[in-house]
Amino acid sequence: MGVNKLVRKWIESREKKPESEYEEAKRQFEMAIGQPFITLKLEIPAGFEEFSNEFRKLENDYQFQEEVKDLIKKRLLLASRLKKST
């Protein structure tokens, strides 16, 4: 391990406030001025328990997030058309 990596690891070990506190503080600012976002809690579908590792990896899968965004776009467009028709 290089000196730079050692120093960085040491710096990180000295951080005081846990990540969750930072993320919570950031969430509050994002809600106030950032782009609107939602947080979903999704459980693994029944019968797919053997894929639990692959399922967990989806949380940080960029491709998966893009697919979900496409689904949201379709859903919002549908909602918009339904609104106009009524």
Partner 1 sequence: MDPVQILFILIYLLTILITATKIVPMSVAALIGALLTVWFGLLYDVFGYEEALGFIDMKLIFLLLGVMIVVEVAERSGLFRFGALYAVKISRGNPTLLFVSVCVVAAAVSVFLSDPTAMLLIAAAMATITKLLRYDPVPYFVSAMVMINLGGTSTLIGSVSNMIIGLQAGFSFTAFIEYLALCELALWALTIFVLYMLFKSRLGEKKELPEYNPWESVKDKKFFYRSILILILLVVLFLTLENLGVGAEAVALGCAIIALALSNSDPADIFKKLDWETIFFIAGFMFVVGGLESTGLLNDISTQLFQTVGQSPLGASIATLWASGLASGAVSNIAVALTFSPIISGVAALNSAAVWSALVLGTNLGGAMTPLSGAVMMMGIGALKREGISLSFAEFTKVGVITSLVQLGFASIYLIVRFNLWV
How many helices (H) and strands (E) in the chain? 4, 0
Q: Which is nearer to partner 1, 31 or 77 (CB)?
A: 31
The contact mask relative to partner 1 for 19-58 (x = CB under 8 A, - = no) is: x-xx--xx-xxxxxxxx-----------------------
Asked if 22 and 33 count as a contact pair (C-beta separation under 8 A), the reply is no
In the complex, least distance from residue 11 CB atom to partner 1, rounded to whole angstroms = 6
CA-CA-CA-CA dihedral for 44, 46, 47, 50, to nearest 10: 30
Contacts with partner 1 by CB under 8 A lie at: 4, 7-8, 10-17, 19, 21-22, 25-26, 28-35
